[in-house]
A and B are shown apart, each in its own frame.
Chain A
Amino acid sequence: MLMVTQFYWMVRKDLVSEYRARQVWPAMLMLGTLVSFLFSAQLDGVVEGRSRIVGMLVWLAIYFAGILAMHRTFAMEQEDDCWDALRLYPVTASWIYLAKFTVNFLTLATLQVVVLGLFVVFSNVPLLDHPLRMLTVALLGNVGLTSVGTLLGGVWTENRQGSTMLAFLTLPLAAPVLLAASEATRLVIDQEGGPLWWRWLSFLVVFSIVFVTAGIVLFELLIED
């Protein structure tokens, strides 16, 4: 029971901090907006293969803006040496990981709403004609990206080189998720179903399960002692 309340207070603390300081969300959402806007503007003349390109661009926008937030959740702990204090509370590293994962998940979900909405408005593709399917892809892609991003965010807590380095660390590991989510998004736009759709979906499921588990099990091992 204590673990659940600890989890709740850790998540709440991060959200309250962000709500007060507004250090990441505005920057992240603005970056997402601008990138969506620029991508969509360049898409204007494209007729053929539009769905394919939109699929990738949506996820690139989400990834690069989202990494900002993933970096911030751990970097804020380093500021006044709070990380040491957090590690000394009677809470296991796995729960710290889960709390940070939840915060990042919520942040990324907000970003996704904005980016997807903007792409619908700007680029005129039927992203939301199948809201349930799009929601599934968005959720699974979110969990996949967040699990990897949170894990490496705990590894790379450095503030100096900022989130650039985290983006660099995460990209090779998250590349399969980005590819799978882009492809699944394309299928949603093209309203295709069938085995291909299920394959990409099951890949996203497997990836999410593996990396969330890896985070829970390995987090203790990977973080600085």
Chain B
Amino acid sequence: MMTGNDAIRMTGLCKAFHDIPVLRHVHLRVAVGESIAVMGENGAGKTTLLRCLAGIVRWDRGQLWLHGKPVTRSGMSSRDGSRDGASHAESCRDIGMISHACQLYPNLSLCENLLFAARMTGLPHPRKQAHAWLERIGLAGQAQWLPRRLSHGMRRRVSIARGLIHQPSILFMDEPFSGLDRQSRQWLADLLARLQRQQKSICFTTHDPRNADQCADRVLALQNGVLREIATDPNSAHEASHPLIAPRLIA
């Protein structure tokens, strides 16, 4: 099967909660260096989709390849007992997941939080890496602060640094733009553009079509558990007849 060029390839993924299907046969291909945005209403299953892709949630049916390698961390693999610890570890190093929450330990300083992430992923020179990232997000002077002293936007930056510290090639971000002011949004958009230039594949969810347009090569909508493409060319003004986008643009 030709999966080598795709960073993510997912076929027929199904996931149900309470026997109610949330994802019904979702197909997705993301090329290396491509950025996609997933939109959808609250409860449409965007987060579930990302969590499935990252391998945190077991899915019911379907297959997933990351960089052409089948991902074994799912209900399927534990069923036949073929879960392979090594391949799981390997795929974890490829993945960066930045969730809706900031995922920072409240009693560890910013620097220690980043150090912990660096050490858990087995990076060489964790201290140097952590400080380099603090420089990069502009919080080098606050290295010894506890997360609660920071504003939401700053915490978000640290959480992004935490998710990126091991240089993953595939990045999942759940609502990265929510709750950020304009300046922070711009910073994040620039960061995403730079990551894309480094051939990272990015997959993020958002409610705002402007963010989706600005940062994604393709915009997909998740509706009734099915993923559809709604705008392929980010430069064209999306007349977007799609019901998810149209009313928001008028408003």
Contact = CB atoms under 8 A, between A and B. Distances in A.
Say if the two chains contact directly (CB < 8 Å).
yes
B101 A81 contact: yes
A130 interface: no
A85 B90 contact: no
Nearest to B126: A9
B111 to A, nearest CB: 13
B95 interface: yes
A196 interface: no
Interface string A88-124: 1111100000000000000000000000000000000
Interface stretch (B113-121, B232-240, B241-249): B113-121
B89 A90 contact: yes
Interface stretch (A14-22, A46-54, A159-167): A14-22
Interface in A1-30: 2, 5-6, 9-10, 13, 16-18, 20-21
Nearest to B89: A90
Interface string B143-159: 00001000000000000
A129 interface: no
A6 B118 CA distance: 10
B100 interface: yes
A16 B112 CA distance: 10
B5 to A, nearest CB: 25
Name the residue in B55, B58, B121 with the highest tally of chain A Cβ atoms < 10 Å from its Cβ.
Answer: B121
Interface residues of A, number: 28
Contacts, number: 83
Given A81-B103, A84-B103, A91 B120 contact: yes
B140 interface: no
B103 A82 contact: yes
Contacts of A18: 107
A87 interface: yes
A76 B104 CA distance: 11
B104 A88 contact: no
A10 B119 CA distance: 10
Given A85-B97, A88-B54, A90-B120, 18 more contacts: A5-B119, A5-B122, A6-B120, A13-B112, A16-B112, A80-B105, A80-B106, A80-B147, A85-B99, A85-B163, A88-B55, A88-B92, A89-B121, A90-B88, A90-B122, A91-B89, A220-B78, A221-B78
Interface of B: 51, 54-58, 78, 85, 88-90, 92-93, 95, 97, 99-108, 112, 116-117, 119-122, 147, 162-163
25 contacts: A2-B122, A9-B120, A13-B105, A13-B116, A16-B112, A17-B105, A76-B105, A79-B106, A82-B104, A84-B56, A84-B99, A84-B103, A85-B103, A88-B92, A89-B92, A90-B90, A90-B92, A90-B120, A90-B121, A90-B122, A92-B85, A92-B88, A220-B78, A221-B78, A225-B57
